[in-house]
Structure 1
């Protein structure tokens, strides 16, 4: 499965993106709430004048202090701190907050003092101030951080890049843990469902003790497995009953046929009954075999492919010779394969025997090993099948030609058994007309 399409990645990315959006909103909102510089009202101008007069009075009382020392030591009841700037733009103070520097750009007109309020503080000014006959611009700044008791948060807001980095470092393990907590039980259920799909109905269903939706899913799977077990048990009983109920009258029919031959001798009518009885017995056997393959659980095994097919190919070669035909085949590769050996043998044997029936002279079997699959190709030089009927030949009891099937004794179940066996292994079977004859391709995953 592609990582980007996995539920784990989607949950992790979704939570991570949500946190990033929240951080972006948290960083953006305070900046959106910042007011634009506004003209200072009369109360503010009066406050600024009183503050400058208080500074002047302090300088007068302590002439030994420089202006810089006087400003640094100045404390006003309103908690505004003063900052003095020379006409050339140099500040007298050692440290000037960013809000004041930003505010100075928009408010250098001493005839129109302004006020600017942000999440960091309040800035007002400028007002003219003379010291030793040197003109200065005086600004007042009030820090609001100590009033909110959120110094760390405001520091982070002033450094959005660092805030995003810290958020990612904190949220990444949290989101990973949450995504793992949600997807780990689902992966366990997926493994259990894969084993159940392969017919291993005794698989233990995990996560049934949970009380959330995953627990409900696990309990639902457990009930489903129980229902499958009951259904298969009923199916096996039905197969046993069918086998007994159909074979018993067939056995009596053969016994009556043998008695008739002994008392009346051979006749065309008795021969025809014998042929039809053989066909009925073969049909019952094929039908029961198909039902067993579909419903009866089997154990998957590790088999050697060449050993599995060795006797089957030798028998097919002998059968073709007896009918005056040639069976050409390549030796299967000596590889190990996880499969149901009985189903594999039955599938390949049904196709080969079908090819031997309808071939004019030659049947070919080829086995090709690729990176991820094994491909079996069986072809004959018979009459082939009409193109519009090829898609239906793997259906149970489907007959391309009623007369031909009756002549060959076919039941219409051989290719259906092959199709079921391939699908049970996760493979496929396809057919197409060759030049001449029919080509059947069986594909198995490695």
Structure 2
């Protein structure tokens, strides 16, 4: 995290350096333009009479005059030919008109004045530094002060964020090491606080998911152990059985336990497969067709009940057909298991979703069991009997299938006094697959 402070400070310093360099360049160009355009009248005034003195003096006197002038101005003064490389054609035209051209030296070292002397030579005086404005080292000092201020400010501003990010990182490390109860501090409403809240929500979901998986694994171990123990006991008793009729009965019991075990494994696989649904597997299907498909396969165990179906003929859902039929089959099987005479399947539109409702006229579900009935291996009497059947995964599969489609499942009381299971499913329109 300390590298973050350094990177932040360097980024700001670099931006200021580029800005400072650009401003300096613009100032320098403005300085040159000002010197060349506005200093000419000043030069004519300051050096008025100097060329006349040089022309009237002898060679020795000229040297003395130039030396004295250079000493007084703290610069250089000498006679150069008109063909000097420091003069441009524009400068020579100015000299021909009797004007004083000026050249601004690079690096703010000042300006050099060229006084017309005769047809072949000029008097070069300079460079003369301006008597105002900061010099080069002044600019260096200004830049250094700015960098120091930026570094201190960046450190002061970013240090609290870095400390909080360090604590968030430490929390992540604790979770990675197995402490699933670790949570980040949510002490503010800024970006880091929002990140901490999102982190905690993710950690909470992960903890719940892992705990649910752990509980499911424990339940699976228990559920597998029960038929396995019965099979082992049956095999032990089988070796001691001499009566052919009892021998056949025990073989039949072992076979039933194996069927139950196979059914349990199948349900577990289906529970796992129902957690993730790809959108490319979904199809837009009519509810009434799905109802008829499920009822056709359920005729053999629905003969003693009256099954009523209510759904508009054009009502459709956007689902994975295999998973939807499995969820509906589980709901119907649960309703048939507890219904007395009547089971009702209803499909209706509710906003952007489609509700599929399964009602029965059985004993219903007590309020204190409604919060756990969709958990794996949940049973109202906490035991499995051969009369009611089931392994306690049917409604858990329903809940996961519905959730994987982005829907919801709800348990309430049916008008007939039994249980009402309401599942909500998406439509192609709600997922943006077709236009209105």
**Which range, TM-score by smaller chain?**
0.3 to 0.5
TM (normalized to structure 1)?
0.40
TM (normalized to structure 2)?
0.40
